[in-house]
Amino acid sequence: MSPLNSTLNRRAFVRGVATASGAFLTGAALGSCDSRDPHQHPFPVEPDLAAGGGANSRVPLRIPPVVTPVGLALTAAPGPANVLPGKTTPALLYNGAFPGPTLAARKGDRVSINYTNGLSERSITHWHGMLVDPANDGHPRQVVGTGGTHAYDFTINQRAALNWYHPHPHMLTGGQVYRGLAGGFIVRDDTDTGLVGNALGLPTGNYEVPLIIRDASFDSSGGLQFSSKSSGFFGSTPLINGTYNPYLSVDKAIYRFRILNGCNARIWRLALNTGAPMYLIGTDGGLLDKSVALTEISIGSGERVDVLVDFRALGASQTVMLRCLDAGWDLLQFVGSGISALVGSIPTSLTTITPLGAAVRTRRFTFDGMTRLNGKTYDINAVEFTVPLGDVERWVFVTNGNGPHPVHVHGASFQVDKRIGGRGRVFDWERGWKDTVVVNDKETVEVLIQFVASTGLYVIHCHQLGHEDGGMMANFEVV
Ligand code: C2O
Ligand code: CU
């Protein structure tokens, strides 16, 4: 019997509660279960589905299957997901998985993916964070109908990073992502994880764990509840890699967590319940120049962080909880296995980030209301502006309200230069190369951006998927 099971059984015995599957303990000492947020929940939540159920109901964290995106057939289709104990959730799945398989490739690899739309509505898949030419970007104009296909073929030429993939049909993205269509896309290179040796000594194998953290709401039969509205959908419970109420057994080792905010709208404020630091080593576009110890990290929809957590001193059966301080939710429980594994250390110096030089021009983008960008709702046929390939530009993001707006740009990474007003600073988790940055009410965020991957048609949009589907998006062309 593993240390975890013996701990749980002992707890169950003490409480006099049977451990039959599906038996939820209430009031377990794992932190508060407050699932309220400032936004209204349109749906009633069953008491036993409140986040952070009892310890005994925790199940092993699901790790999505890892596949190589070379000659890959990728189908988006309806299918069953097993999320809640004893219930089947009708979902939308990439290759039958909830969330989709993790695609893993190296810089220089030639990716070839044959996408098939098995949904009952139009769709297309976008590789969020991948710097590819427009034919491979999954722009909303490229949607295909039911049974339609799209062939992707590109060579990876960018830094190692955790990127991700999800649908991008105009007005339908929120619902399709919410019902399960999302997966990780890990790019590796020689700095990050060398083929020969591993200079930085970053954890790999079982010690490198992707965490797609999203929220969802369920009805009493296990069905996903959703309403498409511009104000954004907030679920009533968190799912980690599609797992409801998960734990992860961890050795006495340093772990690398590749974290994605896969929510439609919610911002995560991540922290460990022990107050121990997470060592931030990377953001959307890959490794930072230096690691930094942080006790909390905030990420909006579409943003990623790469963190190391030191469990070398965690004894058998001892636990640590990854929490969201804003939602007050327990997200993922780490349970010590007591097994001493790697020696390892937390590297300080990681890689080089070359700052973009002076901008040759400035563009201003206003995120207005819940559906407009620069005063207009999305016109799929228009080209709102052109950007010369190779020019460094300053893009200024402002809003008059209805934030937070996680602003996302296709086709290039950017560097966040400053935030004026509101929180008034650039946070550590916004350093390095980014493709998404959160703009709150009363804030102006300025980034430096340079398109180098390709000319052609891309979009800029808000990644609060209710805003995106409502039309807070614009086409532009790199020329
Ligand atoms: Cu994650 Cu344009 O999207
Ligand atoms: Cu927005």
- C-alpha 264 – ligand 2 centre gap (Å): 11
| Closest ligand, as measured to the CA of 260 | 1
Is the model's pLDDT at 335 over the cut of 70?
Answer: yes
- C-alpha 429 – ligand 2 centre gap (Å): 20
Is the model's pLDDT at 231 over the cut of 80?
Answer: yes
Q: For 7-16, 95-104, 120-129, which range has the lowest pLDDT when averaged over its residues?
A: 7-16
Check if the beta carbon of residue 123 is closer than 8 Å to that of residue 117: yes
pLDDT digits (tens, 9 = 90+) for 360-419: 999 999 999 999 999 999 999 999 999 999 999 999 999 989 999 999 999 999 999 999
CA distance 207 to 390: 38
Q: Give the pLDDT of residue 197.
A: 52
Q: For 49-53, 109-113, 147-151, 322-326, which range has the lowest pLDDT when averaged over its residues?
A: 49-53
Q: Give the pLDDT of residue 34.
A: 34
Is the model's pLDDT at 26 over the cut of 60?
Answer: no
Ligand 1 binding pocket (C-beta < 6 A) is 126, 128, 166, 168, 302, 408, 410, 459, 461, 463
The neighbourhood of ligand 2, an ion, using CB within 5 A, equals 405, 462, 464, 467
Average pLDDT value for residue range 230-240 = 95
Does residue 209 or residue 29 have the better pLDDT?
209
The mean predicted confidence, pLDDT, of the chain is: 89
For ligand 1, what atom is nearest to the CA of residue 302? 1
Spatial neighbors of 390 by CB under 8 A, at least 6 apart, are: 450, 451, 452
pLDDT digits (tens, 9 = 90+) for 267-302: 999 999 999 999 999 999 999 999 999 999 999 999
Q: Give the pLDDT of residue 198.
A: 63
Q: For residue 417, what are the CA distances in angstroms to 39, 97, 273, 313? A: 30, 38, 31, 38
Q: Give the pLDDT of residue 341.
A: 83
Average pLDDT value for residue range 100-105 = 98
Residue 313 token pair: 């001193």
Residue 479 token pair: 């020329």
Is the model's pLDDT at 183 over the cut of 70?
Answer: yes
Q: Give the pLDDT of residue 195.
A: 54
Q: Give the pLDDT of residue 194.
A: 60
Q: Whose CA is nearest to atom 3 of ligand 1?
A: 128
- C-alpha 123 – ligand 2 centre gap (Å): 21
CA distance 308 to 68: 25
Torsion sign over Cα 394, 395, 400, 404? negative
Q: Whose CA is nearest to atom 1 of ligand 1?
A: 128
Check if the beta carbon of residue 232 is closer than 8 Å to that of residue 286: no
Mapped onto helix, strand or coil, the DSSP state of residue 376 is: strand
CA distance 337 to 434: 35
Find the helix or strand (DSSP H, E) in which 474 lies.
Answer: strand 473-478
* 294, β-bridge pairs: 278
For ligand 1, what atom is nearest to the CA of residue 301? 1
Q: For 196-200, 222-226, 238-242, which range has the lowest pLDDT when averaged over its residues?
A: 196-200
Find the helix or strand (DSSP H, E) in which 3 lies.
Answer: helix 3-15
Cα 277 → chain centroid? 20
Q: Give the pLDDT of residue 330.
A: 98
- C-alpha 108 – ligand 1 centre gap (Å): 23
- C-alpha 471 – ligand 1 centre gap (Å): 13
| Closest ligand, as measured to the CA of 441 | 2
- C-alpha 321 – ligand 2 centre gap (Å): 30
pLDDT digits (tens, 9 = 90+) for 71-100: 999 999 999 999 999 999 999 999 999 999
Q: Which residue has the tokens 């957590």?
A: 309
Closest to 411 measured CA to CA, from 452, 448, 378, 447: 452
Is the model's pLDDT at 39 over the cut of 70?
Answer: no
Integer Rg of the chain from CA:
22
Residue 185 token pair: 């896309």
